[in-house]
Amino acid sequence: MEEIIRNSISVKLKILEDKELQKRIGLAANACIDVFRSGGKVLLCGNGGSAADAQHIAAELSGRFNYDRPPLFAEALHVNSSFVTAVANDYSYEAVFARMLQAMGREGDILIGISTSGNSANILNAMAKARELKIQTIGLTGLTGGKLLEVSDILLNVPSDETARIQESHILIGHILCDLIEKAMFPREND
C-alpha cells in the first residue's frame, strides 16, 4: 500500500517539476476560457475510467467547482447510453465519439480526448473529426502520448506509463483546469 501511495506522489512531483507540462496545462485552460467566453462548449470523451474522468470534469464545469456560479457548457460524449449502443451496433464502437461530436460539436468548440495509452481508436477518430469540424483538440494521456501526440493541438501527457497513476493524475489536471477556468470566468474579490 505504501509503495502505491509513493508511486502516486512521485508522478505528481514529476508534474510539479515539469514546467513545460505546466505551461501546456495553462494553455489548455486558456483555450477553454476563450471558448467559453465566445459562447462555445467543451466536449470530452474517454473509455472506462477515462469516460468517468470525462464525465467528472464535465460535471465540475457545468455544475460548479469551488463556488456557486453560472454553469458552463461542458459535456461528456458518452452520457447518452442509447446513442452509444445504437451507433456501436449500427456502425462500430470506433465511430461513437466521432458521430456524437458531429452532432454536438461546432467550429470554435474544444474536444478533450482522454486515453491513458493515447491509442484508443474511438478517441483518435473523434480527434480526426474535430479537425474536420475546426474544433480545437486537447489530448490527455500518458508518458509517450501514443497516437494522440500526432492529433492533439495541446497534449497533456502525464509522466507515467502505469494506467492507475495516469488516471490519478488526469483528475489532478482536470481539477487544475476547472479551478483556472472558474476563477477566470467568474472572478471573486479575493481571487
pLDDT per position as a tens digit, 133-161: 999 999 999 999 999 999 999 999 999 99
Q: Which three cell numbers stand for residue 188?
A: 471573486
- Long-range contacts of 89-97, Cβ-Cβ distance < 8 Å, separation of 24 or more: 93/122, 94/121, 94/122, 94/125, 95/122, 95/125, 96/122, 97/45, 97/122, 97/123, 97/125, 97/126, 97/129
Q: Quick one: pLDDT at residue 191?
A: 60
CATH for the 2-185 domain, from 1.10.287.620, 3.40.50.10490, 3.90.1150.10, 3.40.50.720 = 3.40.50.10490
pLDDT per position as a tens digit, 42-97: 999 999 999 999 999 999 999 999 999 999 999 999 999 999 999 999 999 999 99
Percent of the chain with pLDDT over 70: 99
| Predicted TM-score of the model (pTM) | 0.96
Question: In the predicted model, what is the mean pLDDT of the chain?
Answer: 96
Percent of the chain with pLDDT over 90: 98
- Is the pLDDT assigned to residue 190 strictly greater than 90? no
Q: Quick one: pLDDT at residue 140?
A: 98
Would you list the domain boundaries of the chain?
2-185
Q: Quick one: pLDDT at residue 189?
A: 77
Taking the C-alpha atoms of residue 54 and residue 100, their distance in angstroms, rounded to an integer, is 15
